[in-house]
Structure 1
Amino acid sequence: MNKVVVGLSGGVDSSVAAAILHNQGYEVVGVTLWLMKGKGQCCSEGMVDAAYICEQLAIPHHIVDSRDLFQTNIVDYLVTGYEAGITPLPCSQCNKAVKFGPMVHYSQKELGIDKIATGHYARITYDADSDRSQLRRAVDLSKDQSYFLYDLTQDLLAATIFPLGEQTKTETRRIAAEFNLKTAEKPESQDLCLIEKHGSMKGFLDQYITPQDGDIVDQNGKILGKHTGIHHYTIGQRKGLGIAAAEPLYVVGLDAVRNRVIVGDRTSSHQTECTVQRVNWVSIPEPTNPIRAEVQLRYRSQPVAVSVIPLENSRVKLVFDEPQFCITPGQAAVWYNGDILLGGGILEKQN
């Protein structure tokens, strides 16, 4: 019998992933990562619901204490980034460093099981010509989560199953109801687990960063107003600036050294190119020449045409066919060929 470890967060998606594989005849073992204390699907409430699902399916359930790993790779990573004037994307970092990598290691070393599965909406196929696993968008594009998975390596993809990749969220809810799963009607988490605990990103960050008042300036250095800490702002932000102006102003820069928030009009907020660091090539080997692709600069943004130019030290330059609005350092740039995720990395802060 095939064995698989399913990562259970206590939400409906991971519950249905476990139920589908169990129904297909897999010997399923549930594993829940204990990431942090407090409210939220990743925390105590989620662990209770995950345990209940395992009881419903009559499968074993293991809880792995990952709190130190989460603190180092996510909490400290976020705090350091915001202090430096960037807006880190914790989910992609968490997937590789806290969830997939450690879960594969635990499954193989502690349980003797080679495969893991999660409730992510994405697909994995195998390309014989390149001998590579290919990461693809989910069938339900409104729920596609491949953007957050760009940092997964070939080893991790080869060990992973995404049971929900070929179905819609509506089908997931229907299957949960059919199996009478406790989580069938559980609402989706709308925020990061950190935000759920602290109420907002500002509330979370203020636990770790002492707010320091500073100036809001235009691109010529003229003081337009005051701020309560650069970590309260992000590139592209328009609301909450507290500045009266003839035209809308946006945050276009965060100067950590001078403790300044820099604002400008929409025209000055566009860029024709940018650089990306910590690049992971996923579905294709790293190219030596420029390639054409469609890049996604935010989770909910539409892909746009781009030339991807390889640089040294796991970096690339992105040159857009059309200027892009408020590119945010610390977020992920992920490029595709159709539904195939080619690679991705972290947007660099421009000097």
Structure 2
Amino acid sequence: MKKVVVGLSGGVDSSAAAAILHNQGYEVVGLTLWLMKGKGQCCSEGMIDAAYICEQLGIPHQVVDIREVFQTNIVDYLVSGYSAGITPLPCSQCNKTVKFAPMVQYAREQLGCDRIATGHYAKISYNSASKRYELLRAVDRNKDQSYFLYDLSQDLLAASVFPLGDFQKADTRRIAAEYNLKTADKPESQDLCLVESNGSMRAFLDKYLAPKKGDIVDGDGKVLGQHDGVHHYTIGQRKGLGIAAAEPLYVIGLDAVNNKVIVGDRTLATESECTVQRVNWVSIAEPSTPIRAEVQIRYRSKPVPATIIPLEDYRVRLVFDEPQFSITPGQAAVWYEKEKVLGGGIIEQFS
């Protein structure tokens, strides 16, 4: 009997993934990662529900305390980024360094198992010609999470199973209901666990970064208003500026050094190209010449055609066919060939 460790968050997706594999005859071990510091944080309810699911399925449940790893790799990373005037995306980093890598290590070292599974909506295939594992979009495009998984290594992809890749979300809930799982009707969680835990990103950041009043200025340096910290703003933001103007104003720059928020009209928040760092070529080997692909600069953004130009030091330059609004430093840019994730990385600050 094949053994698999299933990451259980206490939500319906991971619960259904465990049930599917259990029904397929796998020896399933439920594993929950304790991420948050502090009594009563959001992980507590998830751990309780995960334990209950394992009891329902008749499988063992284990909890691994990686709060220090989460604090260093996610919380500190976020706080540092926002204080520097960027808008970090923690999810891809969390998947690689906090979830998948520790899960695979624990499975191999503690359980003698080479396979892990999660409730992510994505697919994995093996290309025998290139001898590489490929990351693909899920069938349910509304739930597809391949954007957040671009940073997974070949080793992690080889060890991973995504049972929900061919399912619609409605199918997942139906399966959970058929197994009478406690989580079948559990509401959707927010994309970012820290927001869910703290109520808002602003509330989370206010726990770590003190208010720091400064000026909101236009491109010429004219003072238009006041802010209470650059970490409360992001490129492309329109709402919450507190400025009366004849035309809509958007955040076009964040000067953390001089504590200024720079605003302008929509055209000034639009760029034709950007550079991307910490690039991971997930499904293909790094190309030596420019390639064409469709690029997403945000999770919910529409893929748009662009040229990807490889640079040194795990960097690329993206040149878009048409200028894009709100290219945000710190967020991920991920490029696709149809359903296949070719690679991705973190958008650099503009010079």
Which residue matches 2:210? Answer: 210
Which residue matches 2:340? Answer: 340
| Contact 2:235/2:269 (8 A) holds in 1 | no
Which residue matches 1:109? Answer: 109
Deviations 1:227-247 (A, max 9, x none): 010001111100000001110
| Contact 1:39/1:197 (8 A) holds in 2 | no
- 1:192 and 1:305 map into 2 onto residues whose CA distance is 28
**TM-score, length of structure 1 as denominator length:** 0.99
- 2:324 and 2:197 map into 1 onto residues whose CA distance is 33
Which residue matches 1:48? Answer: 48
Aligned-pair CA distance for 1:101: 0.4
Which residue matches 2:187? Answer: 187
Which residue matches 1:299? Answer: 299
- 2:221 and 2:128 map into 1 onto residues whose CA distance is 56
Deviations 1:135-189 (A, max 9, x none): 0000000100000000000000000000000010000000000000000000011
Q: Does 1:17 align with 2:24?
A: no
- 2:172 and 2:80 map into 1 onto residues whose CA distance is 37
| Contact 1:38/1:197 (8 A) holds in 2 | no
Q: Does 1:71 align with 2:71?
A: yes
Displacement over 3 Å in runs of 4+: 37-40
- 2:67 and 2:257 map into 1 onto residues whose CA distance is 32
**TM-score, length of structure 2 as denominator length:** 0.99
- Within a 5 Å distance, the mapping from 1:58-137 to structure 2 comes to 58-137=58-137
Q: Does 1:330 align with 2:330?
A: yes
Deviations 1:67-114 (A, max 9, x none): 000000000000000000000001111000100001000000111010
Aligned in 2, Cα 1:189/1:211: closer, same or farther, shift over 3 Å?
same
Aligned-pair CA distance for 1:219: 0.9
Aligned residues: 350
Which residue matches 1:252? Answer: 252
| Contact 2:6/2:18 (8 A) holds in 1 | yes
- 1:38 and 1:89 map into 2 onto residues whose CA distance is 25
What stretches of structure 1 of length at least 5 have no aligned partner? none
- Partner AA of 1:114 in structure 2: D
- 2:50 and 2:82 map into 1 onto residues whose CA distance is 32
Which residue matches 2:263? Answer: 263
Aligned-pair CA distance for 1:194: 1.1
| Contact 1:3/1:115 (8 A) holds in 2 | yes
What stretches of structure 2 of length at least 5 have no aligned partner? none
Aligned-pair CA distance for 1:190: 2.2
SS at match of 1:183: helix
Percent identical pairs in the alignment equals 74
- Partner AA of 2:192 in structure 1: L
How large is the Cα RMSD of the aligned pairs? Answer: 0.9
Aligned in 2, Cα 1:20/1:97: closer, same or farther, shift over 3 Å?
same
- Partner AA of 1:137 in structure 2: R
Q: Does 1:26 align with 2:26?
A: yes
Aligned in 2, Cα 1:232/1:58: closer, same or farther, shift over 3 Å?
same
Which residue matches 2:283? Answer: 283
Greater mean alpha carbon deviation, residues 195-204 or residues 296-305: 195-204
